[in-house]
Amino acid sequence: MPDYCNEDDSKQIESVTMHGVHRIHPNDVGLDVASLKIIELSKKIRELNAALVSERNRCNNLCQVVRKLESESASLSNKDVICSLCKQNKITTNEKIDNTSESAGQEKKIKKMESVVLELRQKVQTLNHDLLLAKKVVEAETGEIIPNINIWLTNLKLKTEGTYGTWRGRQQQITALKNRIAKLQSQLALKASSCTEVLINKDNIENETFSGATFFGINYFQDDDNNLDLQSPKVNHTIEQNENKISTIIQLQDEKKRLEEDNDVTKKNLQKTKLRINNLLQEQKELKQQILFLIKKGKHDDELVESLVHRNEDLQNELNRMNQINKEKDDEIEKFNEQQSNLKQRKDIEIKRLEEIIIEKNQLIDNMNERLTTVNQIHLDKSEHEVITETNDIIQSNFIHSSQCDQLCDPDHIKSLTIERDGLVKLIENMESRIEELVNEKMKLELENTELTRKLTGKPIINNQSLLINEKSIKSINNNHNDNEDDQLFHYLTNENYIKNLFLKCSSLSLSSMKIITKYIKQFQMILIKYHNELMNLKNNIKLILNYRNDDFKLMMNIIDELRQQQQQQGQQRQRQQEQQEQEQQQRQQQQKQGQQRQRQQEQQEQEQQQRQQQQKQGQQRQRQQEQQEQEQQ
């Protein structure tokens, strides 16, 4: 329904309440309100009629324009036929393009004019509807059937001689009749005392004039006592008339009592309706506040969901980054293990090669020693010199190989590896602290969710500490209980029998008020259903997020366990490497000791050779001295 129907319903309600107020508190000023309203309505009707006539004229003009356009379109169709003939006669393409553009522009104009005509028709329909409503209001006020408003206004002018001042409505007529009844009662009391006073009162009543809503005439309610005279033969006739009047007055009194009772009933009904209206207004305000609260809550929930989504994305990015770091570390560890295995192989190969060289050199030394004994003393010096040079070369080569092995087992390299190990341990500790923070945030979000559900059901909020202590035990019970109560409330408010039960409790409502109430209640029910669906979607999303969080937490714990296992394996490997390094160091020390022993043996051999040389020199000197002595003797 459009909005003006609702406005008409509200106007009818106001008119009913105004009638009730006039019945309770009749005033001389209030009697002219209905007449003023009707005059205003008549003015509005005239304005609407004038507007309707102008709109009709516009419609006629537009119809003529449409007809012209249709004729032009027909002529354009004829032109198209001519253009087809011209095509056969090879007319240029420029003329064709111009014709098509003109036809397209005219079609657009026709469409615009049709839309304008539709709008005007809609306006005319609304004006006709308003006229019907105004006619109904006037009929309800006057109590007459009005076939045509203009004819009714002309009759009203003729009856009142062109003025609207003497016209009275039904309410004014009722008050005038009540005043007349009161005056007639006082007149009857006076007539019972004396006939003369009755005649005086009748003269006073004759001087008063009344008029009704149906224009029966001013003298319609006057008595026919103008012909009375003070003559005695007519007294009996007047007494009979008085008795008839007394009977009519008694009937009028009974009717008055009945009307008063009806008036009391209407007053009570009016008070009840006012109370109901106030209650409905209060309920409407409360529902509006609840709707605003739900809208705000929906906004907050949307923000919370967005923040949770961003948080989840950040956590996933961090997880991916940590996985990449772990993969890089694993690759580095594998490379390091490969390097160590290669180094071990190289060391073993070099040790074997050195042992072979040492064996060969020892064989050479033995051979040289055997030759030394056989060779002459002259060649001994040369051979000894050569042996010394060869031994020095061997010693230098041994020192070079030992320095290379020391470089491979350098402590700086070991320190760098230990630093990497410490960095990995710290990274794992940071990951564990991060996981604890995420668990705490999860607990806080669950607490906020429980608080929101409690606010919806109108229950008090429990402290955060008590919820944290008894979270697992209380959460399941409260959630089930709150969900059941929420579902019961929702089904009760959105049930179709809810409106019927309300109207059964409030059976004294009018049809218009019942329609208005049902309309607003249905709107609020639709809003409640919408927000209930949104809340259910939010709850489902939160549950999904919690499940994702639990899965992420499980993955993190598995990753941490794997990292710990890898650390343990790495520690075992390092221990093994350290043991191997210690064994290698022991072997090196043994080799060094062997080399020192060999050096000592070589030094001893050199000393022995020097002693031998000295002995040989001494022997030669002795031989020379002997030869000199022999020569001197000769």
DSSP 321-358: HHHHHHHHHHHHHHHHHHHHHHHHHHHHHHHHHHHHHH
Task: Specify whether the CB–CB gap between 209 and 218 falls below 8 A.
Answer: yes
pLDDT exceeding 70 applies to what percent of the chain?
58
d(CA 145, CA 142): 9
Residue 387 reports pLDDT greater than 50: no
Number of Cβ within a 10 Å radius of residue 387: 20
Lowest mean pLDDT across 18-27, 248-257, 597-606: 18-27
Q: Give the residue-averaged pLDDT of 448-473.
A: 49
- The pLDDT score that the predictor gives to residue 518 is 76
Three-state SS annotation for 369-406: HHHHHHCCHHHHHHHHHHHHHHHHHHHHHHHHHHHHHH
Higher pLDDT pick, 268 / 535? 268
Residue 564 confidence (pLDDT) above 80? no
State yes or no: pLDDT of 633 exceeds 70: yes
Q: Which phi-psi region, left, alpha or beta, contains residue 217 (left: φ > 0; alpha: ψ -120 to 50)?
A: left
Residue 294 has pLDDT above 80, yes or no: yes
Q: How confident is the model at residue 139 (pLDDT cuts 50, 70, 90)?
A: confident
CA distance 224 to 226: 6
Distance CA 142, CA 214 (A): 7
Assign 391 a pLDDT band (cuts: 50, 70, 90).
very low
- pLDDT tens figures, 206-220: 444 333 334 344 344
Under DSSP, is residue 567 helix (H, G, I), strand (E, B) or coil? Answer: helix
Q: Which residue has the higher pLDDT, 247 or 163?
A: 247
Tokens (6 digits) for 128: 């006709």
H/E stretch holding 216: none
For residue 28, pLDDT over 70 is answered with no
State the distance between the two ends of the chain, measured CA to CA, in whole angstroms: 169
Residues 6+ apart with CB under 8 A from 405: 347, 350, 584, 588
Mean pLDDT on 228-249: 69
Buried b or exposed e, range 569-586, using 16+ CB within 10 angstroms: ebeeeeeebeeeeeebee
Q: For residues 409 and 162, what is the distance between their CA atoms, to the nearest angstrom?
A: 129
What is the pLDDT at residue 167?
A: 57
- pLDDT at res. 12: 44
Please return the burial class of 28, using the count of CB atoms within 10 Å of its CB with bins 0-12, 13-18 and 19+: exposed
For range 377-394, the mean pLDDT? 51
DSSP 25: S
Least confident of 199-208, 283-292, 425-434, 574-583: 199-208
Enumerate residues 6+ apart whose C-beta is below 8 A from 55.
120, 123, 124, 127
The per-residue pLDDT for 408 is: 43
Instruction: Give how far Cα 346 sits from Cα of 181, 334, 350, 353, 406, Å.
Output: 137, 18, 6, 10, 13
Top mean-pLDDT range of 3-7, 365-369, 563-567: 563-567
Predicted TM-score (pTM) of the model is 0.22
Is the pLDDT at 459 greater than 50, yes or no?
no
At 208 the pLDDT is 44
- Tokens encoding 50: 């004038």
The yes-or-no verdict on residue 6 having pLDDT over 60 is: no
Mean pLDDT over 309-328 rounds to 84
| Whether the predicted pLDDT of 1 surpasses 70 | no
Assigned token pair, 569? 């394996």
Average pLDDT, the chain: 69
2/156: higher pLDDT: 156
Longest dimension (CA), the chain: 236
Q: Scanning the structure block, which residue is given the tokens 């714990």?
A: 557
pLDDT at 393: 57
Q: Token pair of 199, please?
A: 């005649």
Amino acid 472: pLDDT = 42
E strand segments, 408-451:
none
Across residues 423-445, what is the average pLDDT?
A: 65
Report the amino acid identity of residue 578. Q
Q: What is the per-residue burial (b if ≥16 Cβ within 10 Å, else e) of 594-620?
A: eeeebeeebeeeeeebeeeeeeeeeee
